[in-house]
C-alpha cells in the first residue's frame, strides 16, 4: 500500500502497530447535473488556484470515446463536438510525474465535487481550512445554478500489522455492535460491511447515511487492517443552497465528529488514546 503512495506518513502505536489516514474526502452532490458549458466555466477557474493546485486534467467525450489529457494555462478549447464532463486538479507541480503522485486533489464532474487528501493527514483544522479555501472557488459558481442534494465525509484509516505483537482484541473493540465476534478467531483474512440510515435532528438535512467497511487483507505484501467510513447527510431533495460557506462547513465539522465517534467505538481504548481521538477538554 505505501509503495503506491510516496507521501504516506505513519504514526507508531502500541504493540508494534503503525497507522495512517490513507485518504480523507469531503464530497458535495449537486442538486442537478451540470452541463458541458458549466463544466468549462469551472475549468476556467483553475488558474486562480495554480499556486495550490498547479496540475489540471480534463476528461471529455467525443464520438463516443473518452479523452483524458493534461492542461496548462488558460484559453484551451475542446475539440469540436467534445463534451467536458470531469476535471481534476492536484498539488503536484511536476507535470511529468504519474497522476497518482499527489497529496491534495479536487475532482469535479457533472454530479458533484470531491476534495481529497491522500497519504498525509495534517489534522482536521488544517484540512478543513484548505478544503474551504479551494472548494469555495468552485462552489460559488455552482451555487449560481443549483444547490446541493448531499454532503459527505469519507475516511480510510489503515493499521499496518507487519510488527503487530498482540491479538486482534488489542486493536479492535470486542464489544462493538458493528464487529462480529467470529472475526477475532478468524485464522486469515476477512471483511465486514454494513450500511444504515439514522434519524438525525438537523434543520437543513433529512437523513444521515452511515457506511462502514472493516477489512483485514494483504496489500503490497503487507498485512493491514482498514477501516473505511462514509457519513453522508442527504437533503430533502430540494437542492439546498449554502450561500454562507461557513454554514456549509459547519456540516462537515459535525460529520467529522460523528466519524471520530464511530472510529473510537471500533478500536481498543489504548488505540483511541494513542490516536488522540478525544483530547482532554472535549473533541477536537
* Cβ pair 153, 24 in contact under 8 A: yes
* Cβ pair 180, 168 in contact under 8 A: no
- pLDDT score at 121: 93
- pLDDT score at 284: 45
- pLDDT score at 60: 81
User: Dihedrals φ, ψ of 33, to 5°?
Assistant: -65, 145
Q: Is 67 helix (H, G, I), strand (E, B) or coil?
A: strand
- pLDDT score at 246: 86
| pTM for this entry | 0.90
Cβ-based neighbour number of residue 72 at 10 Å: 11
Tell me what the pLDDT averaged over the chain comes to.
87
* Cβ pair 20, 158 in contact under 8 A: yes
- pLDDT score at 2: 46
Residues (pLDDT < 70) of the chain are: 1-7, 62-70, 72-82, 201, 203-204, 236-243, 280-284
| Interval 77-107: pLDDT, tens | 555 566 888 999 999 998 888 888 899 999 9
List the one residue out of 191, 265, 176 whose CA is nearest residue 224: 191
List the one residue out of 256, 242, 247, 61 whose CA is nearest residue 138: 242
Amino acid at each position: 500500500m505505501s509503495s503506491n503512495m510516496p507521501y504516506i506518513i505513519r504514526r507508531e502505536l502500541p504493540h508494534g502497530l503503525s497507522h495512517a489516514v490513507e485518504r480523507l474526502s469531503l464530497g458535495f452532490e449537486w442538486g442537478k447535473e451540470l452541463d458541458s458549458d458549466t463544466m468549462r466555466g469551472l475549468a476556467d477557474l483553475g488558474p486562480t488556484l495554480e499556486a495550490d493546485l498547479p496540475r489540471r486534467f480534463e476528461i471529455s467525450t467525443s464520438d463516443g470515446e473518452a479523452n483524458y489529457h493534461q492542461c496548462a494555462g488558460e484559453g484551451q478549447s475542446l475539440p469540436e463536438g467534445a463534451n467536458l464532463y470531469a476535471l481534476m486538479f492536484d498539488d503536484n507541480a511536476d507535470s511529468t510525474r504519474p497522476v497518482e503522485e499527489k497529496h491534495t486533489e479536487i475532482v469535479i464532474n457533472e454530479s458533484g465535487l470531491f476534495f481529497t487528501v491522500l497519504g498525509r493527514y495534517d489534522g482536521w483544522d488544517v484540512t478543513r481550512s484548505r478544503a474551504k479555501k479551494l472548494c469555495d472557488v468552485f462552489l460559488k459558481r455552482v451555487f449560481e445554478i443549483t444547490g446541493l442534494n448531499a454532503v459527505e465525509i469519507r475516511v480510510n484509516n489503515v493499521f499496518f500489522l507487519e510488527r503487530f505483537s498482540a491479538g486482534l482484541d488489542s486493536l479492535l473493540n470486542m464489544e462493538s455492535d458493528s464487529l462480529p465476534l467470529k472475526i477475532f478467531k478468524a485464522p486469515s483474512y476477512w471483511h465486514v460491511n454494513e450500511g444504515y440510515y439514522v434519524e438525525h435532528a438537523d434543520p437543513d438535512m433529512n437523513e444521515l447515511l452511515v457506511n462502514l467497511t472493516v477489512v483485514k487483507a494483504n496489500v503490497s505484501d503487507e498485512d493491514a487492517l482498514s477501516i473505511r467510513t462514509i457519513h453522508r447527510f442527504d437533503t430533502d431533495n430540494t437542492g439546498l443552497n449554502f450561500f454562507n460557506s461557513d454554514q456549509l462547513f459547519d456540516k462537515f465539522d459535525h460529520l467529522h465528529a460523528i466519524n471520530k465517534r464511530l472510529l473510537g467505538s471500533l478500536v481498543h481504548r489504548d488505540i483511541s488514546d494513542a490516536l488522540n481521538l478525544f483530547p482532554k477538554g472535549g473533541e477536537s
